[in-house]
Structure 1
Amino acid sequence: MFWSISLCFSFVLSSQHSIRAETTQERLVGFLFKNYDRSLRPVHNVRTTTKVKLNPAIHSIVDTDEAEESITFVQWFRMIWVDEFLHWNSTDFDGMDELLIPISRIWLPDITIDNLIESKLMVQDDKNYAIIASNGTVLISYHQVVNMYCSFHENIVDFPFDTHNCSMHVASWMHSREQIDTYPTIPTDLAQYQKHAEWDLISFTSRRSLVTYFESVLPFVEIYYDIVIQRKPSYYLTTFVLPSFIITTLAIIGIFAPFSDAGGRQEKVTMGLTTLLTMAVILNIVTDLMPTSSDGVPLLELYLILQILISAIAALTSVFMMCLHSQWTKNEPIPDWLLRITNFCHQPLTYKLKPENGLSAYEPTYPDKVIEKAIRKGDKTRQLSLELRTMVSPILTMLDKREQQQGIHQLWNRACRRLDILFMIAFNVLHVALTVGFLGLGYAKLKWKRHANI
């Protein structure tokens, strides 16, 4: 008998431990989801419109790919609507007026990003929770990495001083305005935005429009979130503009630097060709960063092309100077146009071929007196002096010709040196003016577009 009573008592105790009271939250979930169908729009009257409020918040810009025309960013995409099947009287559930439930268990509006390329959810639906209020208001938030299309080619002509509007097109995939009406919250949320190293986020605004697709008579609501970003040009200025400016400047100085008296210029032409090759490599790197477009040439590409043109003209000018300087080997006199150019800013170039008395510069005056004195002393001496003059005359003629050649050579050297200096100044002034104009135009566009979009 004692053992029977003990067994009954143990059974009662174990039953009390295995059976527990239902919690308020469990009662509420059972009440709400007893006949809930998440595949149907949660309205009692099918003609009732479900209004969905959109409130995305951009957290950070991850990357941009101008060549592929895409932008990647992190956002919290929040949606709020009223689910008519998920409301309760909080007094019936111990004052509980809010419930967290996995979003995989409730109806969700089919809101999509039309220009989406790829999206990655940081929190999956079975681990993401919706906040449900007692009046049926539902709040969900997607933490996602969005990679979407952005038309960089439209304003790429201003690169690297470009500003772009990457619009995120948000709409219901299948429901018209009569079924789901979406509208944005104003203003948009940038409270948690983290700055990017290359891009400034100028503005993040929204606009709403109605669109009719194909043969549908009912309009669809589209929300456009305009993400206006502006590039910070400092990286491209230090990586491309500054090196190309230094290379071109050194090339111009090297091409028109003082040369040897022999007139060798082959190294200068080689330097010009090397500069062209270097600039072409830099231009190719910049081109790979840009989308293929026929709408215009980016500002940086145009700057590099003009620098290549300046270097090419400088190299051709060096070839011209080499041909011009070689004229002294033919004992050609300096053309008048060259004398006028080189004498414009310098002391006139002159050289004396013969003394003013008509004698050779190498013909001495004192030996003539000796010869004349010898002539007066007698015919024998006279005859000797005439023979001596005949022997010396070819030597004097040769020395005089050599002096003329040296004079022409020196005059050609001085004229070409002066012309080199003029070309060096002209090309460097043109190069500096091009760079100043490029920077001035670029920063003016940055300032104007920043004020236009703020």
Structure 2
Amino acid sequence: MSIGYNFYIVYKNYLILYLVILQFKYGLSITINATLSKLSNNTDKYERISMKDYGNLPHIKLTKDLLESNRYDTRVRPVSNHTRSLKIYISMTLYQIIDVNEPAQNIKLNMWMVQRWHDEMLDWNPQEYNNIQSIILPSTSIWKPDTYIYNSVIMNKDDTERHMNVRIDSTKINGLRGANVSFLYPAIYTTTCRLNVKFFPYEQENCTLTISSWTNDKSALDYYADPTVNLENFIRNEEWDVISFKIFRHEYKYACCEQPWVILQASLVMRRKPLYYLVNLIIPTSIITLVAITGFFTPASTSNDRTEKINLGITTLLAMSILMLMVCDQMPTTSEFVPLIAWFYLSIIIIISIGTFLTSVVLAIHSQRQYGKLPSDWARYFFFVIVNKFALLTVPPQLKQIWTECDNEPKNIYKKKLNFPASQENFIYSKNVKSYKKSDIINNNNNLKISNPSVIDKSQDVEMKVFKYSDNKNDNKNDSTEKSNNNDKNKKKEYVINDSVNNLNNVKLNSFFKRICRGSNRQIALEWEFIASILDRILLITFGSCVIIVTFGMMAIGVIAQRYYDLENNVNE
């Protein structure tokens, strides 16, 4: 019994059961016996064909005649003249890009393959076989070309291609001997692909499938292909856009053989979609770096020693290193070039490293307040006057008040040095120091010295006044009347300083009182803190600008690269 007969018996039983159900449920008057009689007659006829004349069925007879061993040999190229080349036509359909493995540099594609050729040995007259024009046979029953993917990673062909059946169409109606064979099969190819990740993640890749016979040159098998791969059934990939998929035919001459070899190269041009890497890597990295830079160079109060900023820099460096390792795992190991995204992370790491180092420098400057020494005049003028124009920081009110009280603003430092009067006709007098001795201020060498510090009250404002005096040295030339008048005047001057004080250097005395005014610890702390704040602001602007420039430069290079690829594709077309 054949399988078809068994199926027929099952079908007959189900039909009888269905008729019985209709009769009892709906009361339909159905002549079951008549129906069964017809089925029985058909069964007898089918049994008579399957049992006695099965070998005479047209398609069975055609298959036996075509594959008869004395007529057809699957091991021999199906041509009547062995010197004539057999043409193989290949068409391809891309169904899916399964995977692009950057570290291993290979690509995995789901393809639908079709190979067509003319088999002169599969010849029959359709009129002799009930006008059968085509027939489907197992692929193992006929000869097939040894078409192979040269750059396949998987060597076993059975692991990449699923061979099933072939379709054979007679060409007798066209007056040709033999038949056209269509060999259709799905395949999953894993092929090598040299990935150029120089502009990762904006790169465009060109992966090539090299197709040809493994043992036959052009004199035996001559390959031809459709110019483009069919993309109508392509499932869109989330990471890659297919720009083009074309097939090129080449003939190569090798030293081993006299005849050239026909090579088909299917060139798949695809471009990576960068949105995933922008959203998940580049932009978060830039934000983390900006936050870290802001933390580095945020001004601190005098009670804060800023040591946590060093820890912030080290932590950020570790985070950048981990992100860079994640990116490196997705790229091939190469020393020919550095990928664009690697340059990006390297730049960010350098920025954070320099920022961490300069944070320690600012820390060291800020700690100078504990030594009780004011910044030098050039440093005060440079930072408070010149650099602060760019930092745009407001002077702290307390520090500004101290500068006003002491007449010690940094912008007037060099003006005073140039315009300070050196005339010995003026001397300095303090109304708050109303009674003091010569020995309280000067020593025997006419040098400034505080012998009795109690005579000076540092909490009071120091006000300087300038008095004119006349020095009369020619006593012998004056008459006795003038001498008596001068003596009376000298007696009335209670607060006039001794002639020896008048000979002191006026500049030294002025500096002495100013040092008393501005020498407080509060002024020292405020000035060093203000210098550190100015440095923080300048470094924040500098490094923040660097991060923004690097980030937008990364995006701009991507746009330029894509424009370049578009122009290149237009030229190739």
Q: Which residue does the alignment assign to 1:54?
A: 90
Instruction: Label 1:160 to 1:16 Cα distance change in 2 as closer, same or farther (>3 A).
Output: closer
Q: Which amino acid aligns with 1:404?
A: S
Q: Which residue of 2 aligns with 1:203?
A: 244
2:499 is the alignment partner of 1:437: no
Report the equivalent of 1:344.
Answer: 389
Measured in 2, the distance between the counterparts of 1:355 and 1:259 equals 27
2: distance between equivalents of 1:74 and 1:418? 62
Tell whether the 8 Å contact from 1:210 to 1:219 is kept in structure 2 after alignment. Answer: yes
TM-superposition CA deviations, 1:66-99 (whole Å, max 9, x none):
0000100100111000000012222222211111
| Equivalent residue number for residue 187 of structure 2 | 144
Distance change (3 Å), C-alpha of 1:15 and 1:142: closer
Q: 1:418 maps to which residue?
A: 534
Q: Deviations over 1:120-151 (max 9, x none)?
A: 668743xx110101021000112011111000
What is the alpha-carbon distance in structure 1 between the residues aligned to residue 429 and residue 114 of structure 2?
105
Alignment counterpart, residue 523 of structure 2, candidates 407, 422, 437: 407
Matched, 1:84 2:120: yes
- In structure 1, the gaps of 5 or more residues are 1-13, 373-388
Q: For 2:58, which of 8, 21, 24 is the aligned residue?
A: 24
Q: Which amino acid aligns with 2:350?
A: L
> CA–CA distance in 1 between the matches of 2:375 and 2:170?
105
Question: Under a length normalisation based on structure 2, what TM-score does the superposition of the two structures give?
Answer: 0.68
Residues 342, 353 of structure 1: CA spacing in aligned structure 2 closer, same or farther, 3 A cutoff?
farther
Name the CA distance, whole Å, in 1 between partners of 2:453 and 2:98: 94
Distance 1:124 1:430, change over 3 A: closer
CA change 1:359–1:433 in 2 (3 A) is: farther
CA contact (8 A) 1:212 1:220 kept: yes
Matches within 5 A, 1:279-358: 279-330=320-371, 331-334=373-376, 335=379, 336-345=381-390, 346=392, 351=403, 354=406
Bigger CA drift: 444-453 or 207-216? 444-453
- Once residues 287 and 43 of structure 1 are traced to their aligned partners in structure 2, the CA distance between those partners, rounded to angstroms, is 54
What is the DSSP-based 3-state SS (H/G/I as helix, E as strand, rest coil) of the residue aligned with 1:96? Answer: coil
Residue 106 of structure 2 aligns with an amino acid whose one-letter code is S
Contact 1:121–1:142 (CA under 8 A) maintained in structure 2: no
Within a 5 Å distance, the mapping from 1:247-262 to structure 2 comes to: 247-262=288-303
Cα separation, partners in 2 of 1:120 and 1:451, compared to 1, 3 Å = farther
Determine if contact 1:120/1:145 at 8 Å carries over to the other structure: no
Alpha-carbon contact 1:97-1:134 (below 8 Å) kept: yes
Distance 1:309 1:281, change over 3 A: same
Change (3 A) 1:445 1:33: same
Alignment of 1:147-162 (within 5 A): 147-152=190-195, 155-162=196-203
CA contact (8 A) 2:218 2:261 kept: yes
8 Å Cα contact 1:199-1:232 kept in structure 2:
yes
Matched, 1:392 2:435: no
CA distance in 2, matches of 1:355, 1:130: 104
Q: CA deviation at 1:332?
A: 4.0
What is the CA deviation profile of residues 357-387 of structure 1, one whole-angstrom value per residue up to 9, with x for unaligned ones?
A: 9799xxx94xx67x89xxxxxxxxxxxxxxx
- The residue that corresponds to 2:206 in the other structure is 165
Tell me, in whole angstroms, the C-alpha distance in 1 between the residues paired with 2:325 and 2:428: 66
> CA contact under 8 A between 1:182 and 1:221: conserved in structure 2?
yes
Amino acid at match of 1:414: F
Q: Does 1:43 align with 2:82?
A: no
| Number of the residue aligned with 1:7 | none
Q: Deviations over 1:278-321 (max 9, x none)?
A: 10111111111111111211101100100001111111111111
Q: Contact 2:217–2:262 at 8 Å: present in 1 too?
A: yes
Would you say the 8 A contact 2:137–2:167 is kept in 1? yes
Alpha-carbon distance in 2 for matches of 1:98, 1:88:
10
Is the CA contact (8 Å cut-off) linking 1:72 and 1:145 kept in structure 2?
Answer: yes
Q: How far did residue 212 of structure 1 move?
A: 2.5
Give the drift of 1:17.
Answer: 7.1
How far has the Cα of 1:262 moved from its partner? Answer: 3.5
Contact 1:263–1:325 (CA<8 Å) still a contact in 2?
no
Residue number in structure 2 paired with 1:234: 275
Tell me: CA distance 1:188–1:359, structure 2 relative to 1, closer, same or farther (3 Å).
Answer: farther
Label 1:251 to 1:359 Cα distance change in 2 as closer, same or farther (>3 A). farther
Secondary structure at 1:175's aligned position in 2?
Answer: coil
Q: Which residue of 2 aligns with 1:6?
A: none
Q: Give % identity.
A: 27
Letter in 2 for 1:448: Y
Match in the other structure for 2:14? none
> What secondary structure sits across from 1:289 in the alignment?
coil
Mapped contact 2:58–2:129 kept (Cα < 8 A): yes
Letter in 1 for 2:62: L
Q: Give the AA of the match of 1:104.
A: T
**1:169-184 correspondence runs (5 A):** 169-184=210-225
Which of 207, 222, 232 is the matching residue for 2:263?
Answer: 222
- Taking structure 1 as the reference length, what is the TM-score of the superposition? 0.85
Encode CA deviations 1:387-442: one digit per residue, 9 max, x unaligned.
Answer: xx957347749x95785332122122122212211211111111101111110111
> How many residues are matched?
417
After superposition, the Cα gap between the structure-2 partners of 1:17 and 1:329, relative to the gap in structure 1 and judged at 3 Å, is closer
Letter in 2 for 1:96: I
Is the alpha carbon distance of 1:275 and 1:58 closer, same or farther for their aligned partners in structure 2, counting shifts above 3 Å? same
Q: 1:196 to 1:451 in 2, by over 3 A?
A: farther
> How far, CA to CA, are the matches of 1:295 and 1:238 in structure 2?
28
Runs of at least 5 residues in structure 2 that lack an aligned partner in the other structure: 1-46, 172-178, 409-426, 437-450, 460-514
In 1, the alpha carbon distance for the partners of 2:181 and 2:128 equals 20
Instruction: Return closer, same or farther for 1:120/1:249 CA change in 2, 3 Å cut-off.
Output: farther
Tell me the distance in 1 between the aligned counterparts of 2:132 and 2:65. Answer: 13
The one-letter amino acid paired with 1:191 is E
Q: Secondary structure at the match of 1:321?
A: helix
Partners of 1:424 and 1:59 in 2: CA distance? 52
> Which AA in structure 2 matches 1:392?
S
In structure 2, C-alpha distance between the alignment counterparts of 1:20 and 1:192, rounded to whole Å: 45
Match of 1:101 in 2: 137
Larger RCO (CA within 8 A; separation ≥ 6): 1
Aligned residue for 1:207, secondary structure, equals: strand
The CA distance in 2 between the partners of 1:394 and 1:207, in whole Å, is: 100
Q: Which amino acid aligns with 2:59?
A: Q
Task: Note the C-alpha offset of 1:188.
Answer: 2.5
